[in-house]
Amino acid sequence: MTTPLTDSSAEQVRAACAAAAAAAPAWGLTPIPQRAALLRALADALQAAREALVPLADEETHLGPVRLNGELDRTAFQLRGFADQIEAGRAQPVQDDEAVPGAPPAGRPRLTRVAVPVGPVANFAASNFPFAFSVLGGDTAAALAAGCPVVVKAHPGHPRLSRAVAELAAAVLPAGVLQLVEGAGTAVGVALVRDPAIAAAAFTGSVRGGVALWKEANARPRPIPFYGELGSVNPVVALPSALAANGAALATQLAGSIVLGCGQFCTSPGLVLVRDDEPSRSFVRQLAEALAAANPHAMLNAGIRANFNAGVARLHGRTGVKSLLALPAREAAPGAHLFATDAATFLADEVLHEEVFGPSCVVVTVRDLDETLRVLAAVEGTLTVTLWGADEDTPAHRRLVAGAQAIAGRVLFAGVPTGVAVTAAQQHGGPWPSSTNGFTTSVGYAAIERFLRPVALQDAPAWLIAARGQA
């Protein structure tokens, strides 16, 4: 059950941004131990409110208490993790070059490179992760850790939960540090990105919505960075050696990944590349059987369900595309869909390159490595590529890895792409159109770098250098 939204007025959006701007100087100068303590206090408050928040989230998203309890814990883990990271110096990186007598280039003044918070950040909450990519999710945690206040645009798919979490945060954080605005249409988001107080924006959602806001961010009199995580098809390359050795288990594992969360993960595998041989054909049959036995839950909302229905309808009956599985809906839950085509058809039809957000996947049969690489290149940009069977050092595998790295932010050699670890080495962001900036990540502790701006201090006084070390 969802509650209809009343869009925040232009005055309310402006007031939220002004409050964040007023809070920015003090929050940016908050000593690191105090800032870390507040991040941990947010995590504690979130977990303490579990019994109220999880049922509310389930009413609005249909994701189920098991998934939502795990996601709440992940959100608390992220907040505590960023607290640990800033205590270790991640929010105050310092590179110090001592002075060298003489004129440049051999000589130089003392230069100390530091990082400063960019200022208020607009965070657009996601529909599919009502805790982990929402009011207190990863983007908010990273921005707060960097010393930036946040104005969150609540997602219309879970408005009551968003309000409850924002109220919880307001009881922990200093005034103005976290603000909430709401709106089901585009006006509130556009007003938020356009507001002169906003210094950066983070977004997780559709390609269409993200591109529109990205254009607004760049059209401002003073453009701002817009970190958008958009659509992704997440190809899985299943080499014959892997399928001959373990095809049945891999088919079961992949089917589980396709239907996980009813396919509503940004890392859901939507494309599988196989060869024209018996291990691959057997794997595809086993994949169809495993999907047929799966039972996806209801989708997040009627709009996402309608888009999914339209997406699979475009593929059924398409020239050169065979429908291997088209399960009927089970009450409110859609059935899984599996399609098959060849490389030539895939390369010629851009519709096949598009993400279908939900439990759907396209199998592409390729003849050889060259055709595999052409199909991957046609994807252009994706959050992940999974390579099964590239375990040995061969010229072919080196070419395949290079092709995967060219289009993806994360390359897997085992497992499936769903499930994104929160860690220092994580990269969740790939080349366009999977994200607007493939040089940054929205998951993991490097996410803080999006909201810090480097500044070089030349011949800085001793008190300033000492203050940086004590912050």
Domains of the chain by residue range: 10-230+435-470, 235-412
Q: Are strands 200-204 and 226-229 parallel, antiparallel or unpaired?
A: parallel
Per-residue pLDDT of the chain (471 residues; tens, 9 = 90+): 445 568 999 999 999 999 999 999 999 999 999 999 999 999 999 999 999 999 999 999 989 999 999 999 999 999 999 999 999 999 988 899 999 999 989 999 999 999 999 999 999 999 999 999 999 999 999 999 999 999 999 999 999 999 999 999 999 999 999 999 999 889 999 999 999 999 999 999 999 999 999 999 999 999 999 999 998 999 999 999 999 999 999 999 999 999 999 999 999 999 999 999 999 999 999 999 999 999 888 898 888 999 999 999 999 989 999 999 999 988 778 999 999 999 999 999 999 999 999 999 999 999 999 999 999 999 999 999 999 999 999 999 999 999 999 999 999 999 999 999 999 999 999 999 999 999 999 999 999 999 999 999 999 999 998 877 555
- 213 near 219, Cβ under 8 Å? no
Task: Take residue 184 and report the two structure tokens written for it.
Answer: 């089901």
Helix or strand holding residue 317 (H, E) = none
CA-closest candidate to residue 134, choices 198, 68, 185, 90: 68
CA 444 to chain centre: 10
CA-closest candidate to residue 142, choices 469, 470, 442, 453: 442
d(CA 298, CA 312): 16
Per DSSP, the chain holds a count of helices (H) and strands (E) of: 15, 15
The sign one gets for the Cα dihedral 224, 229, 233, 237 is positive
- 111 near 72, Cβ under 8 Å? no
229 catalytic per annotation: yes
Please provide the CATH number assigned to the domain covering 235-412: 3.40.309.10
d(CA 68, CA 299): 14
What pLDDT, on a 0 to 100 scale, did the predictor assign at position 114? 93
What pLDDT, on a 0 to 100 scale, did the predictor assign at position 1? 43
| Amino acid letter, residue 461 | P
The CATH class of the 10-230+435-470 domain is alpha beta
What pLDDT, on a 0 to 100 scale, did the predictor assign at position 3? 54
Catalytic residue (choose from 60, 71, 229, 355): 229
What pLDDT, on a 0 to 100 scale, did the predictor assign at position 48? 98
355 catalytic per annotation: no
What pLDDT, on a 0 to 100 scale, did the predictor assign at position 2? 47
Catalytic residue (choose from 148, 262, 266, 361): 266
d(CA 16, CA 123): 13
Cα separation values, 124 from 54, 152, 291, Å = 21, 6, 33
